[in-house]
Amino acid sequence: MNGEGSEAALEMVAKDRLVYMWGYLPGALPQRTPLLTPVLARVPAPGHSWRDVCGGGCGFAMAISDSGKLITWGSTDDLGQSYVTSGKHGETPEPFPLPPEVSIVKAAAGWAHCVSVTERGEVYTWGWKECIPSGKVFGEPSTGVSPEKDVTGRQSSFVTEQGDCSYSGFATVSPRSQGSKSTGGTASSTSGEETTKRRRVSSAKQTAETSSSGDDVLTALPCLVTLNPGVRIASVAAGGRHTLALSDMGQVWGWGYGGEGQLGLGSRIRMVSSPHLVPCIDSSPYGKDRLSSLARGSMGSEGHNFRVPGSYVKGIACGGRHSVVITDAGAVLAFGWGLYGQKCGQGSTDDELSPTCVSSLLGMQIEGVAAGLWHTVCISADGDVYAFGGNQFGQLGTGTDQAETIPRLLDAPSLENVSVKRISCGARHTATITENGKVFCWGWNKYGQLGLGDVIDRNIPTEVTMEGCVAKNVACGWWHTLVLAESIT
């Protein structure tokens, strides 16, 4: 769920770098209660500091130390998937057990899988085995980090739709033809939480799913992803059960579950067990007249046939079951589940099986994008915020709870004459950082994930009080928020 802002490297000066956290991180503090206001996270180790924040999954946080270690903390449930996926770390932020020679530069987490990128452009991933492609699994560093076995064909034979504390974003879906429309996979809401419509998991299988030792569904052992020769990955994004990876050449690779088109391969393929190239940009030459027409937003009903402005992809984001990418020309493409209009922003709620240009944003030079469970948020080069998709908890920041199938410009008074530079989405909340280093949050707040001192939802951007520091980056987990800041005292 972690969104991509500008892909320029995060340049930090020699100041104290701090990580603040709030929301649902039950193991981060002894009292095990939600953090309603920003709390300072411990430094990863004496003599080390923070480089960046990466969000995390449900109940655990992830960040990167200045030494290139992926640091996790927060989860304490011995039997829970978050406990295994996070590396079994509680109050003390500790390195995840990746090979000791590895230096991490980017990372992201879905509901129950994580993915990270090394400075050499390699990708490691772990968690739900159906999210893990073919590759080599590595043991704990203490065992010498020797390859253990190939990872092939280990996907579980069942798919679950789970409740709010186990993520209800996935419905059991039968394969459908490419041309069929989405039926939406209805999910009701009760007191801000989805209730399960179907649960096709026996108690034995459910026990196996949450087991932390040697089961067939979940593994904490990192897998080195097998990519084509010469492919170097620069950034990654993790959705509910799918992953996107952006190469240094601007190509997008995807794997995992694709039943709603979130892998952009033109079909409802349920499982892609090895990285596949996602066809985002047609390399055919553009006519100047057509490009001019697109820039004016006059795509028309035949918009799917137009070539996309740009030569390569510069940013990626994954929602629960949809994906979004940005080209170097600032065009936005979206694909996947469309029940609330989050995937395409074209006024439709149909699923989109291939990357499709969001025509109403053409000509605006979009620089950053983030995706939540049901919503998508973009920032332009001018620092404006556009949002579309589901809005049940105010996560679009429009002042209402009405879904938006076409991107809507946020005109909230709190952001008037303010330029937004970074953005991230949790499952149902959104967080931004402005050019002057202030943090604004909005959306669902049951676990204090807005950092405003209460559990009241907000449908407009609201400033988070952070004294004595300037925010540099933000990354949301499912129900929590992390901010990288610099001390000014």
Look-up: residue for tokens 């209805």? 186
Structure tokens at 2: 């972690």
Residues 6+ apart with CB under 8 A from 227: 122, 123, 233, 245, 253, 275
Q: What is the CATH number of domain 17-138+219-282+307-487?
A: 2.130.10.30
Q: In b/e form, how buried is each residue of 216-232, taking b as 16+ CB within 10 angstroms?
A: ebbbbbbbbbbbeeebe
The alpha carbon of residue 228 and the mean position of all alpha carbons in its chain are separated, in whole angstroms, by 24
Count of residues making up the chain: 489
Name the pLDDT band for 150 (thresholds 50, 70, 90): very low
Backbone φ, ψ for residue 50 (5° rounding): -95, 145
Query: What pLDDT is recorded for position 344?
Result: 57
The pLDDT of 266-287, averaged and rounded, is 76
How many Å from the N-terminal Cα to the C-terminal Cα in the chain?
A: 32
Name the pLDDT band for 348 (thresholds 50, 70, 90): low
Query: What pLDDT is recorded for position 393?
Result: 97
Q: What sign does the CA torsion over 76, 81, 86, 88 have?
A: positive
The pLDDT of 86-95, averaged and rounded, is 85
Calpha distance 237→221 (Å, rounded): 19
Percent of the chain predicted with pLDDT > 70: 71
Mean residue pLDDT across the chain: 77
Overall pTM surpassing 0.85 (yes/no): no
CB atoms within 10 A of CB 188: 10
Name the pLDDT band for 300 (thresholds 50, 70, 90): very low
DSSP lists the bridge partners of residue 322 as 336
DSSP lists the bridge partners of residue 487 as 469
The pLDDT of residue 141 is above 90: no
Calpha distance 377→237 (Å, rounded): 15
Amino acid making up residue 474: V
Query: What pLDDT is recorded for position 404?
Result: 93
- The residue extents of the domains of the chain are 17-138+219-282+307-487
Q: Which of 81-95, 121-135, 158-172, 437-451 has the highest mean pLDDT?
A: 437-451
Of the candidates 321, 414, 309, 319, the residue with the CA atom closest to the CA atom of residue 369: 319
Q: Which pairing describes strands 332-336 and 352-357: parallel, antiparallel, or unpaired?
A: antiparallel
Look-up: residue for tokens 């979206």? 334
Name the pLDDT band for 352 (thresholds 50, 70, 90): confident
The pLDDT of 140-151, averaged and rounded, is 37
Query: What pLDDT is recorded for position 190?
Result: 31
Calpha distance 370→422 (Å, rounded): 9
Calpha distance 117→179 (Å, rounded): 35
Calpha distance 247→323 (Å, rounded): 16
Look-up: residue for tokens 């987990």? 477
Phi-psi group of 277: left, alpha or beta (phi > 0 → left; psi -120 to 50 → alpha; rest → beta): beta
Query: What pLDDT is recorded for position 194?
Result: 35
Rg (CA), the chain: 21
Calpha distance 481→483 (Å, rounded): 7
pLDDT digits (tens, 9 = 90+) for 4-55: 444 333 444 346 899 999 999 988 877 778 999 999 998 887 777 999 999 9
Query: What pLDDT is recorded for position 45?
Result: 76
Query: What pLDDT is recorded for position 151?
Result: 38
pLDDT digits (tens, 9 = 90+) for 406-447: 999 999 999 999 999 999 999 999 999 999 999 999 999 999
pLDDT digits (tens, 9 = 90+) for 285-295: 333 333 333 33
